[in-house]
Amino acid sequence: MKANRIFSGLALGLIAFTGIAAAGCSSQRGSGGPEDAIAKASAGECLDCDLAGIDLSGQSLKEARFNRSNLSSAKLSGADLNNALMDNVDLQNADLSNANLTQSALTSANLAGANLKGADLSEAYLRGANLTDADFTDANLTGANLASTNLEEAILDGATLDGATLPEGFVWP
């Protein structure tokens, strides 16, 4: 099924997201800093990291672990995040256009205002995510779990939602 309109006004399952702004990488207390966090991100594991604004466009980050990290305004266009673990991550205003997020876990993630144009989120787990103002134009959400998400003002033009689990009360034409 193809989505052909901007979905507005739906606030079902609204998640009150508390942003995380950890300095460096708190998973390595007493060490690190921005350079350490960037190295860990490039290696695919950075828990509780502050990576706001980082440019990882086109990077292969398969099975990366970014749980509880701040990736707000990050540039991840064309990145391969297949099977990534990104629970409780802040991706507000991030550029994830044409990214591969197949089978990724983004439980309770903040994707408010994120650019997901052309992204592949097939079989992704987004339960409880904040998707307010996110742009899913031409994105593939086949089989994705969107239960309890906030899709208020999300743009779903041309998105594929076949087999997706949608928020309770979500009515799609």
**Span 112-130, average pLDDT:** 97
Reported pTM: 0.80
Mean pLDDT of the chain: 81
Instruction: Show the tokens assigned to 63.
Output: 């099975």
pLDDT tens for 138-149 read: 999 999 999 999
Provide the 10 A C-beta neighbour count for residue 19.
Answer: 11
pLDDT tens for 43-89 read: 778 889 899 999 999 999 999 999 999 999 999 999 999 999 999 99
* Phi and psi torsions of 165, nearest 5°: -90, 115
Determine what percent of the chain is predicted with pLDDT higher than 70: 75
Contact 84, 102 (CB under 8 A): no
